[in-house]
Structure 1
Amino acid sequence: MSAVDNSKPPVVLIHGMWSTAETLSELRRAFEGQGYVVHAPTLPYHKEKSAYDTDDRARLARASLQEYVDFIVAKVNALETAPILVGHSMGGLLAQLVAARVQVDKLVLLSSAAPGGINSWSWSMVRTFGRNLFRFPLWRRVTEVRESHIRYGIANTQTPVVQRQIFDMSTYESGMATFQIGVGGFLPHGFSRVDAQAVQCQVLVIGGTVDRITPIKIQRAIANKYGARAQLLELPGVCHWTVGGSNFPRVCSAMFHWLENKAA
């Protein structure tokens, strides 16, 4: 770890679906290597799969995006200065919802899930989610990801070793949150909708051109949502897994270059 640079804002990392803070270990080390103080909380009710019992899964199944956002807002409010929020996948959506409620320094969105009002549906997304989308009632079930879905839609440009590591780190996810992002995103007042005018900071949107679960069209729409405050970086040949593996050096180079230029 490099020496802490107290002139830099703290960083809060927000993981995505089927994940814990462990998922973002490479990202955390990269920021710490640049002198940032990093906070990487695990979202409520998330833990290793083997640690769940029936009651744990029931609690997670009912967890809402509101609970996740409230949890992160409390973490941000406990900091002395406004942080940089870095969110991956569902964490990218959560970062936007948080930034609409509290002051943050900057937003970095890596392969972000779509806020409500942006159509996130595609055949590749449906294929990646697989049978999870047919669990009824979804808002009372947990979802989980298979290794075949990771190989197809989440880490399709990664090595088999990395794909297996992602699967081994994966856990259950809330069906309620899944429903709110997917179906609920079409509702005019769904909680996944982000008030873009309430997000006052600069926004970096990074997306891979071969991402199959949050395709590049979603990243373009998110950047467009924030207008002149946003910059979109499209990485050719990069999949959804922008927080580690073979894609990570390119992601880090783009991300830290943007942060350095926006430091003033």
Structure 2
Amino acid sequence: MPTVVFIHGLWLHSTSWNAWRAFFEEAGYTTLAPEWPGIADTVAGARANPDAIADHGIEDVTQHYIGIIENLDEPPILIGHSFGGMIAEKILGLGHAAAAVAIDAAQIKGVLPLPLSALHSTLPVFKNPANLHRAVSLTADQFRFSFGNAVSEDESYALWEQWTIPAPGKPLFEAAAANFALHSPAAVNTGNEDRGPLLLIAGGKDHTVPEVITKATQKQYRHSSAVTDLIEFADRGHSLTIDSGWTEVADTSLTWLRKQGL
């Protein structure tokens, strides 16, 4: 059975996948949840050293994960959230994965919709151009808007306190400029006919990656005959991988993988 590699996105530590790892290991999979480059092994360690996290971009992170994958016995299943979902799409398109589940994945090159809520969610980074080379933290209120808007205020605060870490601003700047750059690191080989199956998951109440972005992402794959499915959780926000409803998303992902013979 393939290994499942979990890829976190901005502002969440890799240990936020711990419950998912236990869920998939109980189902018989081996799992890994590597950190992005520069991120410490613990939430506290990452918060204490934001400079180590800063200035890592999309291509840097992608190659970091490909290096990990190349040491495995066979191509893994990738499950990524937010920018981790984009990274999973990139690696799948390059042929290094058996399948991918991209949950509320950051927009790839070619995706045009940019809802106001997505702009507001990224304002903590974009309000200062110097954040291109810095790591930026979210306040509890900023996390509430960007991640926790579909759960209670108390749950949102608890998630912020437990899992959030500083995040590099560079990937957001790269994604924002993707459609104006000839060789953007946010580009994905969406036309690959030989790649493994891809599941896109959208949160209907997501402020950071609204469902319109995920639906537009699926359209970018229209020229490939490889499996590209989309499942929407209409009442879920960007915290859907870590909040009290995470098991529904995990179970849906597992059921889909089994349907693909994985």
Q: Indicate whether the TM-score tops 0.5.
A: yes
Pick one of 79, 82, 97 that aligns with 2:72. 79
1:118 aligns with 2:111: yes
Q: 2:30 aligns with which of 37, 40, 43?
A: 37
Can you list the C-alpha shifts for 1:42-80, whole angstroms capped at 9, x where unaligned?
A: 1111235654699x5444322121111111001111100
Secondary structure of the corresponding residue to residue 197 of structure 1 = coil
Aligned to 1:61: 54
Residue equivalent to 1:246: 244
Relative to 1, partners in 2 of residues 1:120 and 1:64: Cα closer, same or farther, differing over 3 Å? farther
Unaligned runs of 5+ in 1: 1-7
Unmatched 5+ stretches in structure 2: none
* Letter of the 1:188 counterpart: L
List structure 1 segments (4+ residues) > 4 angstroms apart after TM superposition: none
Identity %: 21
Matched, 1:190 2:188: no
Measure the CA separation in 2 of the matches of 1:50 and 1:30.
Answer: 25
Question: In the alignment, which residue of structure 2 is the partner of 1:164?
Answer: 157
Matching residue within 6, 15, 21 for 1:22: 15
Is the alpha carbon distance of 1:87 and 1:180 closer, same or farther for their aligned partners in structure 2, counting shifts above 3 Å?
A: same
How far 1:14 moved relative to its partner?
A: 0.1
Do structure 1's residue 225 and structure 2's residue 220 form an aligned pair? yes
Structure-1 separation of matches of 2:155 and 2:30: 27
Alignment deviations for residues 171-191 of structure 1 (CA, whole Å, 9 cap, x no partner): 111122221122345423211
TM-score by length of 2: 0.89
The 1-side partners of 2:143 and 2:130 are apart by: 24
Query: 2: CA distance between counterparts of 1:52 and 1:107?
Result: 27
Q: Tell me, in whole angstroms, the C-alpha distance in 1 between the residues paired with 2:93 and 2:63.
A: 12
User: Could you say if the C-alpha distance between residues 33 and 50 of structure 1 is closer, same or farther in structure 2, counting changes exceeding 3 Å?
Assistant: closer
Cα displacement (A) at 1:150: 1.8
CA drift at 1:211:
0.7
Residue by residue over 1:77-117, the C-alpha shift from the partner in whole angstroms, topping out at 9 and shown as x without a partner, is: 11001110000001000111122334311110111111122
Query: In 2, are the aligned partners of 1:21 and 1:42 still within 8 Å (CA)?
Result: yes
1:4 corresponds in structure 2 to none
Q: What TM-score results when the alignment is normalised by the length of structure 1?
A: 0.89
| 1: CA distance, partners of 2:150 / 2:187 | 30
1:246 partner SS? coil
- 1:46·1:173 contact (CA, 8 Å) conserved in 2? no
| SS of residue in 2 equivalent to 1:63 | coil
Q: Does 1:145 align with 2:138?
A: yes
